[in-house]
Amino acid sequence: MADVVEEKKSGKNSSRLNWFWPFGVAVTSLAGIALVALRGCWHRHMSWPVRMQDHSYQVCLECGVKRLFDEKRFCSYGPFRYDLNELIAWQHGKRSGATPLPHQSVSGIAASKIS
C-alpha cells in the first residue's frame, strides 16, 4: 500500500515537471524572438574594408548596412546607415565641427521676444 502512495506522489511531481519544461522553453523562445524583432541585426559579420569615393567603409554581410572605417587606426566608427552618401555627409559634418542648433521650445522663443 505504501508503494502505491509513493508512486502516485512521484507521478504527480513528474507530471508537473513535464508540463513546466515545455512552457519554459516556449517562453524563452518567444523572448528571444521579441529581442531579435526589436533589436534587429547585431552586425557581427562585417566585410573587409572597401574603399570608394575616397572613403573606406565596411558592410554588414547579414543586413547590408554600412559603417565608415578608419584605415589608420584600423577600426570602424560612426553610425550605421544603408546609404553611403549619408555616411559621407555625417563625416563632413563631424570634420567641420558643425553642431545642430539646440531645440528651443515655442514658449522660450516667445519669452525671448518679450524681453
Tens digits of residue pLDDT in 56-82: 999 999 889 999 999 999 999 999 999
Specify the DSSP element, H or E, that contains 79. strand 75-81
Average pLDDT over residues 10-16: 58
Q: Write down the pTM of the prediction.
A: 0.52
Q: What is the pLDDT of residues 87-98, one digit of tens each?
A: 999 998 988 765
- Alpha-carbon distance of 57 to 42, in angstroms, equals 17
Q: Calculate the dihedral angle through the C-alpha atoms of 101, 107, 113, 115, rounding to the nearest 10 degrees.
A: -110
Domain ranges of the chain: 1-40, 50-96
What is the reported pLDDT for 3?
A: 53
Average pLDDT over residues 6-24: 62
What is the reported pLDDT for 21?
A: 67
